[in-house]
């Protein structure tokens, strides 16, 4: 039982260490800054920022600005054709694509449904065969029980006759 106690104490120590690790730093900073009456630390003084205004992309990297050209892809006929399409054409094409995907999903669903019906039909046929076999076995069992009863009666009759004739 000493090993179980060791494991328990190890887990307790591990839990305490983890809780101190998680909760310790926030509590440390709360204590360090001090608590005020509202539970909120005193507000900081405003920061004085003397930052330069943000630079443009061309100021940061002049060579990079040449990569972004308005006529980008003008030599690619497929890209040019795609960029010239109107918004309505793009929406129409997207709707056609959604329709095509829907039809494919519908076909897949119909195929799956047909396969499921075929499997169900096969299982139904197998179940009917089992039912017929069970009924046949049940009928044979009933006939065997009837024959056994007859045999017991005949056996009892022969035993009585044998006892009457002196058989012990």
| Predicted confidence (pLDDT) at residue 110 exceeds the cutoff of 90 | yes
Q: What is the pLDDT of residues 122-164, one digit of tens each?
A: 999 999 999 999 999 999 999 999 999 999 999 999 999 999 9
| Structure-block tokens of residue 46 | 């405003």
pLDDT at 19: 86
- Closest residue by Cα to residue 30 from 21, 42, 41: 41
8-state DSSP, 47? P
163 token code pair: 């006892």
Q: Measured between alpha carbons, how far is 52 from 164 in angstroms, rounded to an integer? A: 132
Give Cα separations from 108 to 101, 113, 116 (angstroms).
Answer: 11, 9, 12
How sure is the predictor about 30, in pLDDT bands with cuts at 50, 70 and 90? confident
Tens digits of residue pLDDT in 38-81: 444 455 667 677 777 777 666 666 665 555 555 565 677 777 77
Residue 52 contacts residue 44 (beta carbons within 8 Å): no
State the DSSP H helix or E strand holding residue 105, giving kind and residue range, or none if neither. helix 87-164
For residue 98, what are the contacts with CB-CB under 8 A and spacing of at least 6? none
Contact (Cβ atoms closer than 8 angstroms) between residue 80 and residue 74:
yes
Angle at 89 between CA 84 and CA 95, to 5 degrees: 140
pTM of the model: 0.36
pLDDT, tens digit, for every residue of 85-99? 677 788 888 899 999
């Amino acid at each position: 039982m000493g090993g179980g106690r060791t494991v328990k104490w190890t887990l307790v120590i591990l839990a305490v260490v983890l809780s101190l690790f998680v909760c310790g730093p926030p509590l440390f900073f709360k204590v360090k800054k001090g608590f005020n009456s509202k539970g909120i630390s005193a507000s900081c003084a405003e920061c004085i920022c003397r930052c330069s205004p943000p630079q443009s992309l061309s100021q940061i990297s002049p060579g990079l600005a040449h990569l972004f050209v308005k006529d980008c892809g003008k030599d690619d006929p497929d890209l040019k054709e795609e960029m010239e399409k109107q918004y309505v054409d793009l929406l129409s094409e997207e709707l056609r694509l959604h329709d095509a995907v829907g039809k494919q999903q519908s076909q897949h669903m119909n195929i799956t449904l047909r396969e499921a019906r075929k499997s169900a039909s096969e299982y139904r046929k197998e179940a009917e065969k089992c039912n017929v076999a069970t009924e046949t076995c049940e009928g044979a069992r009933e006939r065997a029980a009837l024959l056994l009863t007859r045999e017991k009666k005949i056996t009892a009759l022969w035993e009585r006759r044998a006892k009457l004739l002196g058989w012990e």
